[in-house]
Amino acid sequence: MSPKKAKDGKVSTFEATTREGLRRVVITGAGTINALGHDVASTLAAFREGRSGISQLDFRDVDRLSIQIGAQVHDWKPEDYFNRQQILLYDKFTQFTLLAAKQAVAQAGLNFAGKLGLNSGVVLGTAAGGMNTWDENYRTVYEEGKNRVHPFVVPKLMNNAAASHVSMEYGLRGPAFTVATACASSNHAMGLAFQMVRSGAAKVMLTGGSEAMLCFGGVKAWEGLRVMSKDACRPFSANRNGMVQGEGAGVFVFEDYENARARGAEILAEVVGFAMSSDAQDIVMPSAQGAERAIRGAMQDAGLNPEDIGYINAHGTGTAANDKTECAAVAHAFGHHADRLMISSTKSMHGHLIGGTGAVEMLACIMALRDGVIAPTIGYEEPDPECALDVVPNVAREARVDAVLSNAFAFGGLNAVIALRRV
Amino acid sequence: MTNDTRSRIRSIIAEQAMLEPDQITDASTPGELGIDSLGLVETIFAIEEEFDITVPFNANEPEKSDFDITNMGTIIAAVDRLITEKAA
């Protein structure tokens, strides 16, 4: 959105509401854990260095898998963060979420006591929820033949567990729920959080998502689709050979601008637009038209023109179908400006966190706006005429960008694109 | 009732309540020990695992279950009965 001129002629980049009387929404806190690091600073350092978090998987029965690489959080010790009772009750996807939420709330400096808690909520994305809990307990009853499972199996595995525990941890008594739209889950969640704060339905929303599918059953299921790479994730490279799974969480504080300003909070970026679309076509094959409609919709919602966008964090899974479809969608949506855009896939570093992926990718968008550093697409080896965009290959780039998009396109044809602006 | 049964149950409950076993008497109620409804269900699961028994307990209607959870003494007696029935 262009800065507006106030009556005194000065350019005012911020007013409390947009032209339409909607609240402005800003990001005031961020937290993460993923294969690149246990916090935002270490993750951004890896983005700058173009470092891969993909390695040999390490968990029970991994030798029975044909896919043995992933972006796993190897040095995870829940006892460093939670007590015995909490560990019994929290699946790994909830543990990851609570850690990321703690970092985000601390950065924002928020206290939800009193009225703010009543006006605040949480909406998170996940595709599989407590997959580790499903996996362990199927093993218990089927393989080990036991006839009873721990009573916390249900509260651990349910998809809303992470959102519910975050609401309890911080006393968030407003909207609280989980969105499951496969690989677009976190973008859908953050888009809804944006809409809720923008409409005035909530003052603050904790949002983002998490996934912890790196267990025997989780990887075995993905292997069956024959879309996984056995060696590396090389989005947009002609020799790409599939996606690589990751795990982790990203959580953000989305906040009413007035509320943030009243506290003197540091603003990381402004969320300005969101759009969703559905291909309504195929359960696994993406459609360029569906993606294009979501991209155009996010810009329209934000009041941005294609020329305003400097960077797109691509969905960029590294599969043959996704990458060429996404590039076609971007080329159509941006026309001649497509050649001046930077577009990169950070999945080449943190892997595909499935339902949590958009949340970690949001960090690269904030870094682009705030630090002027574009995270690269690593593993890029050969140009592909069907992906003929500037994919920021292999090495991070310094560039000032004023507005960015984050793309997420899910199996099932579910698309969610978010637009952010520099503050 | 064997002292062994009593001691094993006290250990399970002590772990759940995050107390020392000697802080738990037969008169202690789950509420006094800070064991909530979820903790009670977990305690019963641990007892089932420890003694390889099935405890007839429905968390929806605990008072109607054929397993008296009024206090530690009634729980120990009920477990002892289940162990005896299983052996018979």
| Signed CA dihedral, A7, A12, A18, A24: sign only | negative
* Mean pLDDT value of segment A154-161: 98
The enclosing domain of B60 has a CATH number of 1.10.1200.10
B44 contacts in chain A (CB < 8 Å) = 151
Identify the band that residue B59 occupies on the pLDDT scale cut at 50, 70 and 90: confident
Contact by Cβ (8 Å): A385, A418: no
A155 at the B interface (CB within 8 A)?
A: yes
Return the pLDDT at A21. 84
- For the ranges A76-90, A102-116, A357-371, B48-62, which has the lowest average pLDDT? B48-62
Q: Which residue of B has its CA nearest to A89?
A: B38
Which residues on chain A are in Cβ contact (under 8 Å) with B38?
Answer: 89, 151-152, 155
The answer to whether B48 contacts A155, with C-beta atoms less than 8 Å apart, is no
Cβ-defined contact of B45 to A155 (cutoff 8 Å): no
Query: Chain B residues with CB inside 8 Å of A137's CB?
Result: none
- Number of A/B CB contacts below 8 angstroms equals 17
The CATH architecture assigned to A273-421 reads: 3-Layer(aba) Sandwich (3.40)
Domains A26-263 and A273-421 share a fold: yes
Q: What is the pLDDT of residues A383-417, one digit of tens each?
A: 999 999 999 999 999 999 999 999 999 999 999 99
Helix (H) or strand (E) holding A229: none
CA distance B47 to chain A (A): 12
Q: What is the mean pLDDT of chain A?
A: 95
Mean pLDDT computed over A227-232: 96
Contacts of B54 in chain A (CB under 8 A): 148
CATH topology of domain A26-263: Peroxisomal Thiolase; Chain A, domain 1 (3.40.47)
A5 pLDDT more than 70: no
Segment A146-172 shows an average pLDDT of 97
B48 in contact with A, Cβ within 8 Å: yes
The pLDDT score that the predictor gives to residue B58 is 84
A184 burial level (CB within 10 Å; 0-12, 13-18, 19+): buried
Q: Between B18, B45, B54, which is nearest A150 by CB?
A: B45
What whole-number distance in Å separates Cα of residue A119 and Cα of residue A259?
11
Supply the Cα-derived Rg of chain B in whole angstroms.
Answer: 12
CA of B44 vs chain A CAs: smallest distance (Å): 9
Please report, for chain A, the start and end positions of each structural domain, with discontinuous segments joined by +: 26-263, 273-421
Q: Which of B18, B45, B54 sits opposite A151 (nearest CB)?
A: B45
Nearest CA in chain A to B37: A151
User: Would the CB atoms of B48 and A148 count as touching at under 8 Å?
Assistant: yes
Contact A150 B48 (CB under 8 A): no
Q: How far apart are CA A291 and CA A421, in angstroms?
A: 21
- Local confidence band at A46 (pLDDT 50, 70, 90 cut-offs): very high
Residues of chain B with pLDDT > 90: what percent? Answer: 70
Partner-chain residue, chosen from A89, A148, A155, that has the shortest CB–CB distance to B45: A148
Confidence category of residue B2, pLDDT binned at 50, 70, 90: low
pLDDT number for residue A66: 95
Closest residue in chain A to residue B35, using alpha carbons only: A85
Verify whether the Cβ–Cβ distance B42 to A148 is below 8 Å: no
- Say whether A365 is catalytic: no
pLDDT for the residue A2: 44
Give the predicted TM-score (pTM) of the model.
Answer: 0.93
Q: Cβ-count burial of A68 within 10 angstroms (0-12 exposed, 13-18 middle, 19+ buried)?
A: middle
Average pLDDT of span A129-157:
96
Q: CB distance from A150 to chain B under 8 Å?
A: yes
A183 an active-site residue?
yes
Question: Coil, strand, or helix at residue B20?
Answer: coil
What confidence score (pLDDT) does residue A209 get?
98
* Per-residue b or e along A107-141, where b marks 16 or more CB atoms closer than 10 Å to that residue's CB: bbebebeeebbebbbbbbbbbbbbbbbbbbbebbe
> Which residue carries 């199927």 as its tokens?
A138
Residue A62 CA to its chain's centroid (Å): 26
**DSSP annotation string for A272-341:** EEEEEEE--S-SSS--HHHHHHHHHHHHHHHT--GGG--EEE----S-HHHHHHHHHHHHHHHGGGGGG-
Identify the weakest region by mean pLDDT among A118-122, A197-201, B3-7: B3-7
Model confidence at A4, pLDDT cuts 50, 70, 90, reads very low
Each residue of A309-348: pLDDT tens digit? Answer: 999 999 999 999 999 999 999 999 999 999 999 999 999 9
Range of the domain at B43: 1-87
pLDDT at A19: 66
Mean of pLDDT values over A239-253: 98
- The answer to whether A58 and A72 have CB atoms below 8 angstroms apart is yes
**Within an 8 Å CB–CB cutoff, is residue A145 touching chain B?**
no
Domains contained in chain B, number: 1
pLDDT-above-90 percentage for chain A: 94
Q: State the Cα–Cα distance between residues A113 and A358, nearest whole angstrom.
A: 29
Q: What is the pLDDT of residues A7-32, one digit of tens each?
A: 444 444 577 887 678 999 999 999 99
Cβ-defined contacts of B7-11 (< 8 Å, 24+): B8/B50, B8/B51, B9/B47, B9/B50, B9/B72, B9/B75, B9/B76, B9/B79, B10/B72
B66 touches chain A (CB under 8 A): no
Which residues of chain A have a CB within 8 Å of the CB of B48?
Answer: 148
Among B15, B18, B38, the residue to mutate for chain A (most A Cβ within 10 A): B38
Taking residues B29-43, report their average pLDDT.
91
